[in-house]
Amino acid sequence: MSAGLSAPYLVIPAKSSAGSKQRLALRLNDPERQLVSQTLAASVIGLASRVWPKDHLVVVSSEPHLLVTCARIGVPTLIDSGAGQTAAVTVGVNWCLERGAETLATLAADLPGVGEEDLETLLVSSGSMERGSLVIYPDRQGTGTNGLVVNPASLLVFAFGPDSRRRHEQLGALLGLQVSVVDRAGIAWDLDRPEDLREEPQGRPSHPIIPWALELAPQEAGPSEEGGFGS
């Protein structure tokens, strides 16, 4: 971080793995989907903990395995009420505001291709954001939101779920913010649909859990669907 700039805060909401990734149910059974969900979230959190100042990072989750992982690596946690991603992020935002956050970033926890360089770029770019700005990191379909950064942090611009990119753009415009969209492969690739197991971005290495899941899944991917936690 440059001198005189306040480090941004990062909220990572991690949904409970029980019953997660329902759109993968025809490809993976519930224990397999739980393992995929937990492993990806632990990886994203671990990467963030190595890049982000830990006192500016918080995980919102009710997943016992992740809470244990966070305690072991020294990442603060808050309990997710199960009311959805927007509610979970809002819980994290309030924690950050109590600590004087000026810039607030949030990142999805189901990103198979995210790397340290993605987190480093997010940290640096968030730290230099001008007041009155909103940056959206969409998913690969261009309709969901896998990452979001806002300054000032007190603006509640969060509206996750189906077609969230459009809603975030509308909220930003309504609040008079300078809205920009950044496409970044490591952040755009989430795991919601059967196709996401196979559609690995060119030149983007996947998490080892993805080849493992592919070995278990049937060869033919099912039809595409929209929405879901993490959009």
Of 150, 56, 48, nearest in space to 96 by CA: 56
Give the helix ranges, DSSP H, for 114-230: 116-127, 164-174, 185-188, 209-216
- The 10s digit of each residue's pLDDT in 50-109 is 999 999 999 999 999 999 999 999 999 999 998 999 999 999 999 999 999 999 999 999
Q: What amino acid is encoded at 99 in this protein?
A: R
- Going from the N-terminus, what domains does the chain have, and what CATH number goes with each? 9-213 (3.90.550.10)
- The 10s digit of each residue's pLDDT in 136-189 is 999 999 999 999 999 999 998 999 999 999 999 999 999 999 999 999 999 998
Residues 6+ apart with CB under 8 A from 98: none
